[in-house]
């Protein structure tokens, strides 16, 4: 609304934490009561006795061996113990114990505690818990799992010197009688999660951090919300508009949010871009936003379906149409014939679709392979898309460039999907992203399909949640990068090698190291 007062920075908006017990129970049925699920119960049961015994299931031997948690602290403690496993360890002269203790003392995925802080209430956190909880269960415990409870359990299991939690310290943080642990599955999952970041770590080690250049001071910005009637949705589409308070440059940027997220999580990008003259539109995708999540968990609507894969790009195209037709009451003239689109997670996938990258169901058979080395949390979402995917081109020729942050793509976009897309692609992935890990979801797709105009930037220490800006008017970790990418796209020039680094996290362009 034009009469609203100008501002540079929005007040912090924190989405309410929604209990996710119903969603977890629905999703977890094939898995049973999980080990990390019991961590949540730990926060709700008092008083409680800490777990003292672990029953190790060894599938190849079709039997199990008990061990005291206290015996897992060191090889010496195990050799001196009196459990079944301690007896076996003595018989092997300590060889068995050394191998088992390596599993118990292997750190859980890097950044798990920090990500839990930032992911309370998120659907991807639910999926993370499901995979990690497939390690085993805690006898006699029921689950009431929320992100806040996981965060508390992980904080309790971390060592005082800041080291990451391990299976052993997590078990020690649980109340209950006994933990049953599938050792083979635990080792397999932890090893796979670590392997899915090794290429990223090597690329980062071989490249130099991008220098930081301060973003020039910009003008004040105005926020407003409008309703746009569209033919593909039963109700009007809500659009958040962020515009320069003064003269704009007439250029348009759209930002697409992720699954069960909202435009407010990305207003920081919009504020930064608008302060530099761009007009920014953040559509709310009603079939997969945080309002839909609340309604789903209340039992009033079903989960997002495959139709959203087609509806989300149409939301963006409808917004561009409205700009060209002058139906949004924007300040000054804004050109809808050339557009830059950004997105995070599912929103990044949406941006790639709008760029002309064509989805296909070629990789559907991989969804049933539990031991695929590239299997990761995002496959849960991608496989649900592939189940009913209509092979449809949703590209919009007005899009000249996209910035895709942490997009799940390895199954959705088969080899050759990039060939029909003319827009330049910037892909960003965090080295510590265990939800959409960098190797299978960013590095490999870019290695086989990137063009000379595309870029892959890795954020050292970035995870699936801390690359979002929230209401930070400087754009957060990626603000300068996205601003420079947008300016270069509109100038039809290559993105420079400097001027877009982050003072809080190392950003590295690894595009040249992919071949």
Q: Which residues contact 191 (CB under 8 A, 6 or more apart)?
A: none
Residues 486, 446 share a domain? yes
Give a yes or no: residue 105 inside a domain: yes
Residues 270, 221 share a domain? yes
Which pLDDT band holds residue 344 (cuts at 50, 70, 90)? very high
User: 482 or 3, which is more confident?
Assistant: 482
- Give per-residue pLDDT as tens, 374-397: 888 888 788 888 876 766 789 999
Give a yes or no: residue 23 inside a domain: no
Whole-structure pTM value: 0.72
Is the pLDDT at 1 greater than 90, yes or no? Answer: no
Give a yes or no: residue 440 inside a domain: yes
- Angle at which helix 21-28 crosses helix 123-133, to 10 degrees, equals 40
Residues 136, 44 share a domain? yes
Residues 229, 177 share a domain? no
> How many domains does the chain divide into?
2
Residues 271, 316 share a domain? yes
Residues 451, 308 share a domain? yes
Give a yes or no: residue 13 inside a domain: no
Residues 368, 478 share a domain? yes
Mean pLDDT of all residues in the chain? 79
Which pLDDT band holds residue 280 (cuts at 50, 70, 90)? very high
Give a yes or no: residue 25 inside a domain: no
- Give per-residue pLDDT as tens, 431-452: 988 889 999 999 999 998 888 8
Q: Is 280 left (phi over 0), alpha (psi -120 to 50) or beta?
A: beta
Tokens coding 470? 């929230």
Give a yes or no: residue 8 inside a domain: no
Is the pLDDT at 26 greater than 50, yes or no? Answer: no
Residue 230 confidence (pLDDT): 97
> Beta partners for 65?
56
Give a yes or no: residue 165 inside a domain: yes
The lowest-confidence range among 191-195, 232-236, 340-344, 413-417 is 191-195
Which pLDDT band holds residue 17 (cuts at 50, 70, 90)? very low
- Give per-residue pLDDT as tens, 157-214: 665 566 677 777 777 766 566 777 666 666 677 778 788 888 999 999 988 899 988 8
- Looking at 161, 190, 219, which one is the last position of a domain? 190
Residue 322 confidence (pLDDT): 97
Residues 165, 291 share a domain? no
Sign for the CA dihedral angle at 31, 165, 110, 74 comes to negative
Quick check: 411 and 386 in contact, CB under 8 A? Answer: yes
Residue 191 confidence (pLDDT): 77
Residues 155, 216 share a domain? no
Averaged over 236-253, what is the pLDDT? 97
Residues 490, 451 share a domain? yes
Residues 470, 414 share a domain? yes
> Beta partners for 441?
none
Q: Which residues contact 14 (CB under 8 A, 6 or more apart)?
A: none
Question: Domain range holding 486?
Answer: 205-513
Cα torsion 458, 463, 464, 467 to 10°: value is: -70
Which pLDDT band holds residue 415 (cuts at 50, 70, 90)? confident
Which pLDDT band holds residue 336 (cuts at 50, 70, 90)? very high
- Give per-residue pLDDT as tens, 63-73: 567 778 888 88
Query: Using the 8-state DSSP alphabet, how is residue 439 labeled?
Result: I
Residues 330, 406 share a domain? yes
- Give per-residue pLDDT as tens, 31-57: 222 222 323 333 223 334 566 777 766
């Amino acid at each position: 609304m034009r009469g609203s007062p100008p501002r540079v920075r929005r007040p912090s908006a924190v989405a309410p934490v929604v209990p996710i017990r119903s969603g977890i129970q629905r999703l977890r049925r094939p898995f049973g009561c999980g080990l990390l699920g019991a961590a949540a119960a730990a926060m709700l049961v008092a008083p409680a006795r800490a777990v003292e015994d672990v029953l190790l299931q060894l599938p190849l031997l079709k039997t199990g061996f008990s061990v005291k948690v206290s015996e897992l602290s060191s090889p010496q403690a195990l050799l001196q113990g009196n459990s079944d496993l301690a007896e076996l360890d003595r018989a092997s002269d300590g060889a068995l114990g050394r191998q088992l203790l390596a599993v118990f003392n292997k750190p859980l995925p890097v950044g798990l505690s920090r990500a839990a802080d930032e992911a309370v209430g998120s659907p991807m956190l639910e999926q993370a818990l499901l995979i990690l909880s497939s390690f085993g269960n805690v006898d006699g415990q029921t689950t009431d799992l929320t992100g806040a409870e996981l965060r508390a359990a992980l904080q309790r299991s971390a060592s005082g010197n800041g080291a990451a939690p391990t299976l052993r310290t997590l078990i020690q943080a649980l109340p209950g009688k006994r933990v049953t642990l599938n050792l083979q599955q635990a080792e397999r999952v932890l090893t796979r999660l670590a392997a899915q970041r090794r290429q990223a770590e090597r690329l980062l080690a071989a490249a130099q951090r991008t220098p930081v250049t301060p973003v020039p001071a910009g003008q004040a910005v105005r926020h407003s919300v409008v309703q746009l009637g569209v033919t593909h949705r039963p109700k009007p589409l809500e659009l958040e508009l962020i515009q320069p308070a003064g003269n704009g440059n007439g250029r348009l940027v759209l930002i697409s949010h992720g699954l069960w997220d909202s435009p407010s999580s990305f207003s920081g990008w919009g504020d930064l871009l608008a302060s530099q003259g761009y007009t920014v539109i953040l559509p709310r995708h009603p079939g997969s936003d945080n309002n839909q999540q609340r309604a789903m968990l209340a039992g009033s609507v079903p989960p997002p379906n495959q139709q959203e894969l087609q509806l989300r790009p149409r939301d963006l195209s409808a917004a561009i149409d409205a700009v060209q037709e002058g139906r949004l009451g924007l300040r000054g003239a804004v050109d809808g014939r050339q557009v830059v689109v950004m997105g995070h997670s599912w929103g990044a996938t949406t941006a790639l679709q709008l760029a002309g990258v064509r989805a296909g169901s070629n990789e559907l058979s991989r969804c049933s392979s539990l031991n695929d080395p590239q299997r990761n949390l995002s496959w849960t979402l991608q496989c649900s898309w592939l189940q009913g995917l209509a092979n449809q081109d949703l590209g919009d020729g007005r899009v000249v460039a996209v910035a895709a942050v942490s997009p799940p793509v390895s199954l959705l976009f088969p080899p050759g999907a990039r060939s029909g897309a003319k827009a330049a692609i910037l892909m960003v992935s965090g080295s510590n992203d265990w939800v959409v890990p960098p190797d299978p979801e960013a590095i490999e797709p870019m290695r086989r399909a990137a063009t000379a105009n595309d870029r892959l930037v890795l954020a050292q220490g970035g995870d699936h949640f801390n690359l979002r800006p929230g209401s930070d008017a400087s754009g957060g970790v990626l603000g300068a990068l996205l601003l420079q990418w947008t300016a270069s796209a509109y100038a039809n020039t290559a993105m420079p090698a400097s001027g877009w680094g982050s003072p809080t996290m190392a950003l590295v362009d690894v595009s040249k190291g992919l071949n």
